[in-house]
Amino acid sequence: MGQRHDSSAISMSSLPADFVVTHEHQRFAEFCDACRRYRYIGLCYGSPGVGKSLSAQHYANWFHLQAYASSTMPSAADFATVAGSTTVFYTPDVVNAPRRIAQEIDIQRHQLRMLAVEAWLQAQRVQYQVRKQEEARLPPKRTASPKRQNGNVVHIYEATTLPGADIAKTYAQQRATMPDPTDLIIIDEADRLKTASLAQVRDIFDQSELALVLIGMPGLEKRLSRYPQLYSRVGFVHAFRPLRARDVRELLQGQWHPPGVVLPEEGVRDDAALAAIIRVTGGNFRLLHRLLTQIARLVEINALQTITSEVVEAARESLVIGTA
């Protein structure tokens, strides 16, 4: 789950619909699966804008978890989107303290545990309804102690009931004893963690049988190598690369575009325009998003029907393109 939510948090009906499962996301998911399977610490690094955070949020089901946590009356369908979640997604503050990190991660692990309790409760409700239906089909039973009425023995019949647990009492026990389902913690912006905070993260890892993934900028693995107590626990290192030219081409030819961005009905079909977009963005997903937004603005202003390489170049000139 994300680290916080407030009154402006996203609703269940406004979840991002523009996530695309790319080759790089698949590689990232395989990396996280390996860390989870072997209970290792994994390091993931990549340039800004390549999609590290978005992939991690999608993998952790973060958007649905945030929306569910902020919903006042979640439906059964809403619960179905978060049931079984076992991954925490956490972003530390720019200025962070070890105790604060431990507290915030613990809160999110508790939220996952409460989801597990809720799943158990819903299963109990289903079993209760099944038991009531079975009881309704059973014949009534005669009481062991008949009563006398006007001198005659009268047998009293009552509805047959099946043995069942006290749900309220059992629910309280489940809340107190339900094990923590968390098996992976993903920490984004790990470059923000100083020595004391890194020690706190290592302590969380040591005290729990779970996996840990740290995401940051290129050079993260070299910086962490200076902390042998943490680095000795690293089992996997993953480089998150920009989109391949083939991926960008497939996205655009499939008429993908960022939400709210309106392109011509045919999308980007011109080969020269496709090549220009691939060249300008270099596979950087964030830059691709910004460039398409500028292209859409030019298309609207000039009432264009097609996107050409000239339109792409004009859009590029209106962007501030750097390495960050």
Look up residue 240 and give its two tokens. 């998150």
Where do we find the tokens 């989870």?
36
Alpha-helical segments (H) within 11-138: 23-38, 52-59, 62-70, 76-82, 98-137
Partners of 237 in the beta sheet?
43
Q: Residue 249 corresponds to which amino acid?
A: R
Four-residue CA torsion sign, 21, 26, 32, 37: positive
Phi and psi for 17 in degrees, rounded to 5? -105, 5
Give the CB-side neighbour count of residue 195, counting CA atoms within 13 A: 3
State the Cα–Cα distance between residues 316 and 111, nearest whole angstrom. 44
Question: How high is the pLDDT of residue 13?
Answer: 42
Q: Residue 56 corresponds to which amino acid?
A: A
Question: How high is the pLDDT of residue 176?
Answer: 82
Look up residue 226 and give its two tokens. 């200076």
SS3 103: helix
Question: How high is the pLDDT of residue 322?
Answer: 54
Residue 211 CB burial class (10 angstroms; 0-12, 13-18, ≥19): buried
State the Cα–Cα distance between residues 167 and 177, nearest whole angstrom. 15
Question: How high is the pLDDT of residue 297?
Answer: 94
| 40 secondary structure, DSSP code | -
* Structural domains present in the chain: 12-119+179-239 (3.40.50.300), 131-174 (no CATH), 245-317 (1.10.8)
Q: Quick check: 59 and 229 in contact, CB under 8 A?
A: no
- Mean pLDDT per segment of 10 residues, for the chain of length 324 residues? 40 56 94 96 96 95 91 87 95 96 96 91 79 73 58 53 61 83 97 96 95 97 92 96 94 87 88 95 93 94 93 90 52
State the Cα–Cα distance between residues 180 and 112, nearest whole angstrom. 7
Contacts made by residues 4-12, CB under 8 angstroms, sequence distance 24+: 4/104, 5/66, 5/69, 5/70, 6/70, 7/70, 9/66, 9/67, 9/69, 9/70, 10/63, 10/66, 10/67, 10/70, 11/67, 11/70, 11/71, 12/64, 12/67, 12/68, 12/71, 12/74, 12/78, 12/81
Four-residue CA torsion sign, 45, 186, 51, 31: positive
